[in-house]
């Protein structure tokens, strides 16, 4: 039998989308910097004008799932990384936003077969959020590593099951293939970058 495991090598073959919430951008901007740093040091071209990483800014965490799902459905990406910060205030708003973004990000992954990384810090205070976004450590780095690992895992896993003639596990359509495997069959749900030049 086989052990499937993601690696952090040969990452330059992958394409990523990063969805970032503007709300609490003091925190999310730092998460993004940490995330880019990790991707860059693993051979990914993080230039927004390049071909490997696309960036989408949304107003707040509540809007992340809709956009993450659409990006995943496009089959352009091997993983979608969602970055946000939900900080508890004096109102119940925190609970609604935190619950919806967690559920929505999970659903976007399940529904599309594309890894969607939950890079949302949920804390009681701004201080705690900043500590996780660069003052002590930067979770943006970890979220990038999670994306690299999952992209690699799905690539090896799906290539292997295809080679051995098992077909797809779960949803048996080509829509569940990673972007790199499925590039030639990509459904154009997003505007073509080349035609925009």
Q: Does 55 bind ligand INI (CB under 6 A)?
A: no
Q: Which strands sit side by side in the sheet containing 116-123, from one edge to the other?
A: 53-58, 16-21, 79-87, 116-123
Helix (H, G, I), strand (E, B) or coil at 91: coil
Count of residues of this chain found to bind ligand INI when the rule CB under 6 A is applied:
16
Q: Does 39 bind ligand INI (CB under 6 A)?
A: no
- Active-site residue flag, 42: no
Q: Which is nearer to ligand INI, 34 or 65 (CB)?
A: 65
Q: Does 23 bind ligand INI (CB under 6 A)?
A: yes
Helix (H, G, I), strand (E, B) or coil at 50: coil
DSSP codes of every residue in 1-40: -------SSSGGG--EEEEEE-TTHHHHHHHHHHHHHHHH
Q: Which two tokens stand for residue 72?
A: 């995943």
Q: Which is nearer to ligand INI, 44 or 129 (CB)?
A: 129
* Residue found by looking up tokens 């799932």 in the block: 65
Which residues in 95-134 contact ligand INI (CB under 6 A)?
97
Site string (74-93) toward ligand INI, x via CB under 6 A = ----------xxxx-x---x
Helix (H, G, I), strand (E, B) or coil at 128: helix
Q: Which is nearer to ligand INI, 94 or 157 (CB)?
A: 94
Q: Does 149 bind ligand INI (CB under 6 A)?
A: no
* Residue found by looking up tokens 């098992």 in the block: 166
Annotated active-site residue in 22, 41, 93, 136: 93
Q: Does 60 bind ligand INI (CB under 6 A)?
A: yes
Closest CA to 38 of 70, 78, 81: 81
- The residue number whose beta carbon is nearest to ligand INI equals 60
Which of 62, 77, 141, 143 lies at the binding interface for ligand INI (CB under 6 A)? 62
Please state the closest distance from residue 23 (CB atom) to ligand INI, in A: 3
Q: Which two tokens stand for residue 92?
A: 């119940």
Helix (H, G, I), strand (E, B) or coil at 138: strand
> Which residues form the catalytic set?
93
Residue numbers of the site for ligand INI (CB under 6 A)? Answer: 21, 23-24, 59-63, 84-87, 89, 93-94, 97
């Amino acid at each position: 039998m086989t052990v499937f495991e993601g690696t952090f090598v040969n990452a330059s073959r992958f394409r990523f989308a990063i969805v970032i919430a503007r709300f609490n951008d003091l925190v999310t901007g730092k998460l993004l910097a940490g995330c880019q740093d990790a991707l860059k040091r693993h051979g990914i071209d993080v230039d927004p004008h390049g071909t490997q990483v696309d960036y989408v800014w949304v107003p707040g965490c509540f809007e992340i799932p809709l956009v993450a799902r659409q990006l995943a459905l496009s089959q352009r990406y091997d993983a979608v990384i969602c970055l946000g910060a939900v900080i508890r205030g004096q109102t119940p708003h925190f609970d609604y936003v935190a619950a919806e973004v967690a559920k929505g990000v999970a659903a976007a992954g399940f529904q599309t077969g594309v890894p969607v990384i939950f890079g949302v810090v949920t804390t009681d205070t701004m201080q705690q959020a900043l500590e996780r976004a660069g003052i002590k450590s930067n979770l943006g780095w970890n979220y990038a590593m999670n994306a690299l690992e999952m992209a690699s895992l799905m690539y090896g896993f799906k290539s292997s099951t295809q080679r051995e003639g098992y077909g797809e596990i779960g949803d048996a359509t080509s829509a569940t293939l990673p972007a790199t495997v499925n590039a030639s069959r990509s459904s154009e749900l997003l505007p073509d970058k080349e035609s925009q030049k």
